[in-house]
């Protein structure tokens, strides 16, 4: 089984989430507080140490005012040729 936290696909998703967090004006601790998680949870996601499940991705997208379908759709086309 491959380690998907090290793939280009995973790095692109993480980069998109970090960019969205920055655009929303939120700091990691604020995201964590809003989601009832420790700040280290956000940090581990953003450093690629932790994968997200679909529910968690949905929570972050809602918080960042992103459409998760559009986010994934935008990335899928780019990723299929790379990994």
At 61 the pLDDT is 96
What is the per-residue pLDDT for 83?
Answer: 47
**Residue 45, Cβ neighbours under 10 Å: how many?**
23
**Longest CA–CA separation in the chain, Å:** 37
Token readout for 10 is 């995973």
Tokens in use for 51?
């994968």
| pLDDT recorded at residue 44 | 97
| pLDDT at res. 82 | 52
How many residues are listed for the chain in this entry? 83
Q: The domain 4-76 belongs to what CATH superfamily?
A: lambda repressor-like DNA-binding domains (1.10.260.40)
Q: What is the pLDDT of residues 1-39, one digit of tens each?
A: 455 557 887 888 899 999 999 999 999 999 999 999 999
pLDDT of residue 76: 73
Mind listing the pLDDT tens digit for each residue in 26-81?
Answer: 999 999 999 999 999 999 999 999 999 999 999 999 999 999 988 888 777 665 55
**Domain boundaries of the chain, sorted by first residue:** 4-76
């Amino acid at each position: 089984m491959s380690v998907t936290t090290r793939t280009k696909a995973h790095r692109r998703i993480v980069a998109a989430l970090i960019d969205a967090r920055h655009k929303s004006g939120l700091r990691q601790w604020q995201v964590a507080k809003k989601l009832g998680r420790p700040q280290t949870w956000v940090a581990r996601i953003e450093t690629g140490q932790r994968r997200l499940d679909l529910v968690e991705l949905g929570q972050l997208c809602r918080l960042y005012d992103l459409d998760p379908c559009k986010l994934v759709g935008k990335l899928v086309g780019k990723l299929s040729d790379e990994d």
